[in-house]
Chains A and B, each alone.
Chain A
Amino acid sequence: MAGSRFLVLGAGGLGCPALLGLLAGGARRIGVVDCDVVDATNLHRQVLYDLGDVGAPKVEAATRRLRERSPGLEIEPIPLRLDERTLSSLLAAQSADTVVLECSDQPDLKFLVHDLCGEHHLPLVVGGVQRWGGQAMAVRHGAGACFRCVFEGAPPAELAPSCAAVGVLGAAAGALGFLMAHLAVALDAGDDVAGTLIALDLRELRPQQIRPGRRAGCPGCDPHAPRPAQGPLGPACSTSAAAACSR
């Protein structure tokens, strides 16, 4: 565990609690990727930041806060706009002991991260949150079901409203983010969590655990299936943050 690396993609509503959860779980090597800046309207769920951070690149603010909590932490801020090329390069550069946490707010990006992690043999946790709840799934390609075994593709934009449009409860993002961290640490420890999807809704407080079977011909994990088609990625960060995305 002490030597393992965790790569958190997205330092927003899920990424902030996931980072804190990783730290609490004993992680000592973390990379955090985001190309956006801290926005005052998101502070209720992006719990690493405060008003003094507004306008600062999230990766810089997150790195500062985590180092304050754990001075010995080896953390790498990565201000990167993610697309298929940059993401593939980033994942190719990761050590084999890296666990990826997909914490972005883009449906197509979640699937792209999932698929490229399969190509680069990296285990990952995919999460999503909206309104009062969400889901998290631990994936180790080839061991249990993958995300595409459960969901064959991303929802179209008109059926996947953003958190800004429909809202998200801060506590829901917190619960799901910490759950993602727990699943990532468990994956790293070799616990039997791969292929497990957990859905949680804070209004009913009844977590639902599903362990689906692998889907024959799944393009996400069947090596003989054709590579899945990727949808277009939406804007990855605000225009004002574009300058921060220097790589």
Chain B
Amino acid sequence: MPNVRIPTPLRKYTQGREEVTVAGDTVGVVLDGLEQSYPGIKERICDEAGKVRRFVNVFVGEDDIRFLDNLATAVKASDEISIVPAIAGG
């Protein structure tokens, strides 16, 4: 199953886990699975319309999904998905 790297601000949803594995063959399906396992996390990543929020980016490996097929981007079991939000503090 693809490995999902959870950024610090979202780890309160994953009981502090830095990485989780979630079944799915696209990024969107993986995020749906993430929400099933960790309720509340998806609305921090996607807006009401289901699109990835403007201040969050999702990468498969080093590839920005906006340059691929967005949430329909295909993933393999060996892929690593990174959720990278803009960090505001200073």
Chain A residues proximal to chain B, CB less than 8 Å = 10, 12-15, 102-107, 110, 127-135, 150-155, 159-160, 162-163, 168, 197, 199, 201, 203-204, 208, 210-213, 215
Contact = CB atoms under 8 A, between A and B. Distances in A.
Contact of A168 (B53, B56, B89): B89
Interface centre among A104, A130, A163, A168 (most CB of B within 10 A): A130
A10 to B, nearest CB: 5
A203 B57 contact: no
A211 B62 contact: yes
Interface string B9-24: 1000000001000000
A232 to B, nearest CB: 14
Interface stretch (B32-40, B69-77, B80-88): B80-88
The size class of the interface chain B forms with chain A is 20 to 34
Interface centre among B66, B82, B89, B90 (most CB of A within 10 A): B90
B87 A128 contact: yes
Interface of B: 5, 7-9, 18, 44, 53-57, 59, 62, 64, 66-67, 82, 84-90
A134 B18 contact: no
Given A150-B57, A155-B55, A212-B64, A15 B90 contact: yes
Contacts of B56: 151
Nearest to A203: B18
A189 to B, nearest CB: 24
B8 A105 contact: no
Interface centre among B8, B9, B56, B62 (most CB of A within 10 A): B8
Given A155-B55, A213-B64, A208 B88 contact: no
Contacts of A12: 90
B4 to A, nearest CB: 13
Contact of B89 (A134, A199, A204): A134
B82 to A, nearest CB: 7
A163 B89 CA distance: 6
A13 B64 contact: no
Query: Would you list the 3 A-B pairs with minimal beta carbon distance, nearest first?
Result: A128-B87, A105-B90, A107-B88
B71 to A, nearest CB: 16
Given A131-B8, A150-B57, A213-B67, A155 B86 contact: yes
A128 B8 contact: no
B88 A130 contact: yes
Nearest to B9: A130
Nearest to A180: B90
Nearest to B85: A155
Contact of A215 (B8, B66, B86): B66
Nearest to A154: B55
17 contacts: A104-B90, A105-B90, A110-B88, A128-B88, A128-B89, A129-B87, A132-B8, A134-B89, A155-B86, A155-B88, A159-B44, A203-B18, A210-B59, A210-B62, A212-B57, A212-B59, A212-B67
